[in-house]
Structure 1
């Protein structure tokens, strides 16, 4: 906490801490997308279907989204570093179990459940620790830029890395790779010092945790049911909305009674943060929805193997890498609002280019321009959206807002995979592929509208020491 070095001269110890936090975000994002290129291999090896693998992927993203808010809240009670390390261990156990899975059920237990739970425990501390350890705006911008860059690269490069490992060895080796990276992160995290002491007396709203998780699960499962039974879809979504309404009513009642709810409703009174959460949700919906759609189309429709699919995704990875690593420089020249709006425009144009070229040409090169633009657009806006939200609240609320922020982002990932996947499995053809991508683009326009409503010069305390934002800064 005492280390407030600027972005140009961070001590070796703090660099190792940042490396641990960034690698944690990388491996969790990687886990959400690398299975996309293993669809055929896993379905054949485990004697299941493409839809079965889609369910495993979506449940992983959904477990993260459903448990991220409780995970963020637990950091206040048990400490940020402890939750981080426990989450890493649970994740590693899940990865190893997935590697040895004899069937889809065990894969869902290891990958979807245990890795999902581990991620929900370890990701909120990444954002809380970064916000608290990097107090000045410039160093925080660089730190968040590195973390979001590796997160975006993990999601975009997941298909390539997963494809290489699957082709060279086996899809099971990809999970062993995850466990090895976790071991490196645990070693690096030895030097992490929790800036705030844990408070064991903090209450935990168990009822709120159950209601929030159940509501989110029902909504996403409703989307997944769309291709089987429209009435079941409507029933699940309506039930999910009702359960979430029950959750918010319970939280309000606890606040009025002077008790501490799982999520303080005051978090939703910040208009700038609310808009930032919407943009985060749509960004990850675009990223994961595009990844699943393109990967499924390449393998199931065009018959490409895992390595070929991964190589095509390199265009998105390079675009995202280039724009994410320019986060600090871009932040000095343009406001957060401008960067987020630009990112959405470039991403939506990228989807249009992708659909147009792939529809007109059979060559694999037709995917490159569109994926490159999508990667560039996402890389431009991922970091400022995080900073808009995190920097809007003081340090005593970082546990809550970090959990909410990551839950909203992972819910976007779940929606992206569920929506696009549901359209695809209803009829894997060029028509279904185009329909899925167009749907993602339309939702992207909704994100653009939310970004346009952001204030040009947002403000609000990120810590007790420094202002949250300044024109042209982000993290």
Structure 2
């Protein structure tokens, strides 16, 4: 499946896709864009939200991380619900819940209302709306080549949304208010709901009698919540941190054991174990997880450091992050051409190597050499590397399975990516926040080193991918 991306890909699709498919792809791509945008745009609002809601950097970090965690924990159950209630119905419900959460966030009088609106309601809405996007794409784009291009456009829009979040969020926050940034999100999801109602069709009927694995949904979500919450607690209580992480790993282990037993007994399960028996897909999902960890970890750490320590406002911070956006867009726009010349494995390996170099450039920036604009080269290089491998990783995972498992692997793939985003905010953010007042420079460097270490692990996983071009 060839790597595809961004604006260039959408333009090339105008020739290959029917008018109805082109129209359907627009709300799909916009949905992935706004959900990824929502995960990063708050990074440039840290000072504004902290002052307005009388909270701390840690409070904003928790809000961002919990949003990403709710998405990761509920993405797979959300995908299963689409069979029972219908994919278009779940898409619409997710968009409406998201809009309510965004409006509540815009009016939040305190941090806990913001957590309810942004972290919980927007997170639930995203978990309901994203699986239908990928499942409907699988159903509507019936041949592998067109489906690859559709997935490429959607996933690339996700990367662009995450990269442009700081810029757009910074602009809105500086010239209007951080609250208007949430109104912007609400307006976009309402637009998507309108376009989906007009242009999206569900080719399969809902099955109200479809069994649903409630126990598996609860245990998988609980395990992920415990692990990420434990990491967030590291700043306050290391014993509590270790206990929660160990408990979370135990719950997840129990989840896999029980799913295997139920599947052997012929009972309905949340995830088929066959999804974890493919080495290529497993390695691909590891690379997906670590790519998003690097992207969100870098975004939060650099944004928080520039605002809290250097005193930059939202628009200045967002402007500096245009370097990431430029790098990601440049590599995304060339992804289809790169994929014709290089294997997916080569692109993923090169992407990690380049991204790690970019992070390494960012580490010495704590010395304040050249001011905040000295962050630009490192952000550009890391963005270029991440953009180079985002779509190939999706293609590697999706192409590892046949038609019958495309919907299920799509949900798992999205969950793994969102978990990476939440881990990026939790791990790198916690390292930074733990000493942002006393030793900001040291903690910034340690946080960026942690992000680089994740990139090295991702590089090792990419090198373990089988050689050869993925079939189109």
- Which digits, 9 at most, give the CA deviation of each residue in 1:241-261, with x for residues without a partner? 111111112111211211111
- Which digits, 9 at most, give the CA deviation of each residue in 1:23-75, with x for residues without a partner? 00010011101111111111111111111111111110110011011011112
The two structures, once aligned, show a CA RMSD in angstroms of: 1.5
Task: Select which of 14, 23, 32 maps to 1:25.
Answer: 32
Structure-2 residue corresponding to 1:77? 84
Structure-1 residue corresponding to 2:468? 457
Within a 5 Å distance, the mapping from 1:14-413 to structure 2 comes to: 14-189=21-196, 190-359=198-367, 361-413=369-421
TM-score by length of 2: 0.94
Give the deviation of 1:217 after TM superposition: 0.1
Give the deviation of 1:356 after TM superposition: 3.0
Rounded Cα–Cα distance in structure 2 between residues aligned with 1:59 and 1:22 = 24
Could you tell me which runs of 5 or more consecutive residues in structure 2 were left unpaired when the two chains were aligned: 1-11
Rounded Cα–Cα distance in structure 2 between residues aligned with 1:138 and 1:370 = 35
Structure-2 residue corresponding to 1:445? 456
Within a 5 Å distance, the mapping from 1:419-438 to structure 2 comes to: 419-428=427-436, 429-438=440-449
Rounded Cα–Cα distance in structure 1 between residues aligned with 2:408 and 2:16 = 31
Kept in 1: contact 2:21–2:140 (CA 8 A): no
Rounded Cα–Cα distance in structure 2 between residues aligned with 1:405 and 1:9 = 26
Rounded Cα–Cα distance in structure 1 between residues aligned with 2:370 and 2:229 = 34
TM-score by length of 1: 0.93
Rounded Cα–Cα distance in structure 2 between residues aligned with 1:169 and 1:108 = 22
Rounded Cα–Cα distance in structure 2 between residues aligned with 1:383 and 1:451 = 14
Three-state SS of the structure 1 residue aligned to 2:183 is helix
Rounded Cα–Cα distance in structure 1 between residues aligned with 2:464 and 2:131 = 27
- Which digits, 9 at most, give the CA deviation of each residue in 1:388-429, with x for residues without a partner? 112222333233212211111111001000001110111111
- Which digits, 9 at most, give the CA deviation of each residue in 1:421-468, with x for residues without a partner? 11011111111111101110011110011111111237xxxxxxxxxx
Cα distance change, pair 321–9 in 1 and its aligned pair in 2 (3 A): same
Rounded Cα–Cα distance in structure 1 between residues aligned with 2:334 and 2:19 = 22
Kept in 2: contact 1:222–1:232 (CA 8 A): yes
- Which digits, 9 at most, give the CA deviation of each residue in 1:146-185, with x for residues without a partner? 2122111111111111111111111000000001101111
Cα distance change, pair 199–165 in 1 and its aligned pair in 2 (3 A): same
Rounded Cα–Cα distance in structure 1 between residues aligned with 2:132 and 2:406 = 9
Three-state SS of the structure 2 residue aligned to 1:8 is helix
Rounded Cα–Cα distance in structure 1 between residues aligned with 2:264 and 2:150 = 38
Structure-1 residue corresponding to 2:9? none
Kept in 1: contact 2:293–2:424 (CA 8 A): yes
